[in-house]
Each structure stands twice: as structure tokens, then as C-alpha cells.
Amino acid sequence: MLWRLLVAATVALAMLAALALAFRLAHGNAARALTERLEISAQSRVQTLESVLAKQRAVATVLSDDAAVLQALAEPSPANVSRVSQKLERLQEQTSSAVIYLLDRDGVAIAASNWHDPDSFVGSDYSFRSYFSEALLRGEATQFALGTVSRRPGLYLSHDVPQMGEPLGVIVVKVEFDAMEQGWAQAAETTLVTDAAGQVILSSAPQLRFAPLPPIPAGQVSARRAVPGAGWVLWVRAPSAEAVRAALLAAGTVGFLFTLLLAGGVSAARARTRAARRAEAERRYRADLERAVEERTRDLTAEMRERRAAEQRLAQLQGEMVQANKLATLGQITAGVAHEVNTPLATIRLLAENGRQMLPRDAPDLAPDLAADLDRNLSQISRMTDRIAQITTELRGFARKATGELGPVALKDALDAALLLTASRRRAQDIRLVLPQIPPGLRVMAETVRLEQVLVNLIQNAQEALEGRPDPEIRIVLQDDGPVLRLSISDNGPGLSPQIAAQLFTPFATSKPEGLGLGLVISQEIARDFGGSLTAGPQREGQGAIFHLDLPKAA
């Protein structure tokens, strides 16, 4: 009897020890699995949040270099401001941002995507916001705060709008995370995002927002991940009851196994088979999680690669637009060049035939008169050949792609080349040309081919405006009284209509049936690259259009 009690006690103690050991091991494994799952979930949510922030930062960066935005800050006319507001409204819908608005140098909103709403930001003063002052100082800034009008929390991404090294204003993109927080709220875990000060700014539990990060409650497991480039930390917390349940299940399983062992070896074998199946299920579950993380990582990597490729394509397209405009201009002057080439060629051919006819067929010596005529014809042939060479040389020089490097360029040479390339149409229309006295040594900081392109474009526009006008005249005036000289090109044509003048430097806006509306836009960009500007003078009653090209003088 005593022996039976000792055996029973030993079995009970062994069973209790096995149960305790099984509970501890199972709890540890389940806790580790839960922690790994939380870390994977945190990493996935950080990648999603990082993707949203990168997309909205790209919006602010692209807008900071937009020509329409620069024009609105430099000349805040109603037309310029309205055009920017409409562009911001379209971008807001396409990028899913909360609102996009443009602040001038004083922090006052002059354009916004909600310009037509009753609570529009236009006219509001945001100079007190840190994202405004920091963007002026450092170029860009971020701030998470409540909206002064909407009273909705969101992240403000700001970027300065520079011109010649000085900020003209600030572009601001507000991002709201309501949809993301609602998605987090549907999960079993609690998700929190804290800023650099440890304050909760995003949460699946809205009541925790704008409060210090609460300590981890008893019986919960936590994982954290830093949000790159934002100074934020994302936390994912979940109850550890799942691990306790797994541990209790494991302890019960061990007890059941002991019971089965006592009952017989067959039951024990079946229990081991079930344990092996559970282990395989866990392995497959982890493998599925790892595969999901790898697929998500590949997707994000591909998205970043596509974004970089898109940026490279954008830069390439901008360069090709400049080249396309040059080729379009070259096409317009081809007829004139052909005329200039065909006329000398016809003269050469005629004089050559005359020379052959003047040569006696049978006499060994030439008559004096015939010799003189032959000499004159040959001289004329030489002059025509020189003229062809001059025209084709200028044409080849104009067709070459610009190098993009700035240096001293003789203004007189560039203007002479542009006048030569546009001479045929000017002679056909009998246009009077009034030119200034330009010193041969006067040089500007530019690039020869692109400067000739701008001058050709302005002269051609003036010639086209004089089509069918009586007593056509183009006047070019030079003002050289400082570090920046001004070349003004005017005509006595009909001038610019108010509609065309309002969108003069807008891409694809043109009054010409066959025009692209890119010539003045690209010419303005080229002038800005030179450190100068291209502007249209004010319209005056009974006078034609006038354009001012300002260029920095070379030292």
C-alpha cells in the first residue's frame, strides 16, 4: 500500500513538474511568436506611413519649383493666383491630401486647394506657425497640429519656394490620417505613434491622442519601430492573454498526454502525432508571415524604384521640351534659309552657264571684253558661295543642342546671328528694323545657342504679329546702366489681347492656329537659368507688344 502511495506521489510530482515546464515553455514560445507578429505588424504599418509621407513630401517639393507657383508669388495677380488655386485643387484630389495652400513671404495664404469653400484658407495669416518660419530658414519643415479652421489634427509638410537663392514664399501640404487610424482601430492590437517629445499624435484609440505615451498595461506585449525621416516612433500593443491561453493549452495537453501514457501507448502515439501537426501548422504560419513581409518589402522597393524612374523621366522630358522647341523654331525658319540658299545657287548656275557661253570655242586666246565679263562672273560666284557658307554655318550652330554651361557671350554676335536666321521673312514682309549700337566687347552671362534661341523666338513673334500690317517696324532698344542690361524688342502690330496677356507664359496657351504655346514659356525658363528674366511690358493704346529681356553682364 505504501509503495502504491509513493508511486502515485512520484507520478503526480512528475506530472506537476511536466505541467509547469510545459506551461513555461509554451508561454515563452507563444510570447515570442506574439512579439514577432507585433514587430511584423509594426514594420508593415511603418512602411505604409513612410510611403504616405514620402508621397506628400514629393508633392511639396515639386510644387516648390513649379513655374505657375513662382509666377503667382512674383506677380500675385488675380489670374495668376486663381490658376495656382485650381492646380492645387486638382493635386489635392489626385494625391488624397487634406489641403494644399501657398503662403507669401509674410505668411498670408494667397492660393489654396479649398479656395471655393466657405472656410477657404485664402487670406488667412499663418506666419505664427512654426512650419512657416522653419521652412523660410531651412528650406522645409514638418509640424503635427490641430487646424486653426477645421480643428482637425494633421501633419503639415512645408517647403520654401526659392528664386535666385531667396524664398518668395512657402508651399504647405496638410495630411490627415483618419482613414489609416480607422484601419488600425479594426485590428485587435492598439497602435500608437509618438513624436520626438513622446506625445501621442496618431492612435487607433482617439482618446489617447495629444497625451503622453501611456505605460504598457500589465498583461500586454509591445513592439516599436521608428518612422524614418519623421522623428516619430510607432508602437503596437496587444494583450498577452493569447500566450497564456497557449501555455494553458500546452499544460493541459501535457496532462492529457500523461493520462494517455497511463492509459496506453496507442493514445500517447496519437497525441505525439497531433503535436507534430500543430508544430507544422505553426511553421507554415510563420513561413506565410515571412513570405507576406517579403512580398510587401518587394512591392515597396518596386514603388520607390518606379518613383525614382518617374523623376528621371520628368527631368529627361523637360530637357527634350527645350530641344523640341528649338527644332520647331528651326522648322519655321527653314523656308527662309531655303530661299537664301536657292537664290545664290540659281545665280551661281546662271553665271556659270554665261561664263561657258562667253568662252570662244575655236580661238586660242580670250577677247579682252570676254575676259572681263568672266572675271566679274567668277567674282560673283565666289561671293554667292561665301553667303551660302555663312547661312549654313549659322543654321548648324543654331541646331546644335545647348551644353547648359554659362559663360561670357558677346551680345552683338548673338543678336546678329538671330537677325540672320530671321532675315528672309523680314525681307518678304518689308519690315523696317531699328537696331541699337551694341559695343563689340559687351558680354553677358549666358550660353550662346540658348541665347540665340530666345532672341530668334522674340523676333519671330514680332514678325508674325506684323503680318499684313501697313508700315511694319521692329525696334530693338538696349539699356545698359547697371550690372543687368535690358534688351527691349517691340513692334507696331496690334498688341496682345487681355486674354492672351493674362496667360502669356502659361504652357500650351497660344493664339496661333499652328503654335504649341511653348516658345515664350521655354524662353522665360532659359532667361531664368541665365540669372535674368523675360517679361512683357504693359499694353498701351494703339501700340504693339513689347518684351523685356534682362541679362546679367559678364565681369
535 strand-pairing partners: 548
Q: Is the pTM of this model over 0.85?
A: no
Sign of CA dihedral 34, 40, 44, 49: positive
Length of the chain: 555
**152-161, 211-220, 306-315 — most confident range:** 152-161
Average pLDDT over residues 336-344: 61
How are strands ordered across the β-sheet holding 432-434? 432-434, 473-479, 484-491, 546-552, 533-536
Q: Could you tell me whether strands 190-194 and 166-175 are parallel, antiparallel, or unpaired per DSSP bridges?
A: unpaired
Average pLDDT over residues 550-554: 94
Assigned C-alpha cell, 363: 580661238
Q: Is the pLDDT of residue 472 over 50?
A: yes
pLDDT digits (tens, 9 = 90+) for 101-160: 999 999 999 999 999 998 899 999 999 999 999 999 999 999 888 888 778 889 999 999
CB 112 within 8 A of CB 101: yes
Output 23 or 363, whichever has higher pLDDT.
Answer: 23
**109-113, 313-317, 493-497 — most confident range:** 109-113
Beta strands in 306-359 (DSSP E): none
CB 364 within 8 A of CB 422: no
Please state, rounded to an integer, the average pLDDT across all residues of the chain.
Answer: 81
Alpha-carbon distance 50 to 43, whole Å?
Answer: 10
Residue ranges of the domains in the chain?
179-239, 406-555
Sign of CA dihedral 49, 52, 57, 60: negative
Give the three-state DSSP class for 366.
coil
Which CATH superfamily includes the segment(s) 406-555?
Histidine kinase-like ATPase, C-terminal domain (3.30.565.10)
Assigned C-alpha cell, 153: 489634427
pLDDT at residue number 363: 47
Query: What CATH number should be reported for the domain whose range is 179-239?
Result: 3.30.450.20
C-alpha atoms less than 13 angstroms from C-alpha of 30 in its C-beta half-sphere: 22
Q: Could you tell me whether strands 190-194 and 109-112 are parallel, antiparallel, or unpaired per DSSP bridges?
A: unpaired
Dihedral pair phi/psi, residue 405, rounded to 5°: -95, 130
Q: Is the pLDDT of residue 335 over 50?
A: no
CB 81 within 8 A of CB 110: yes
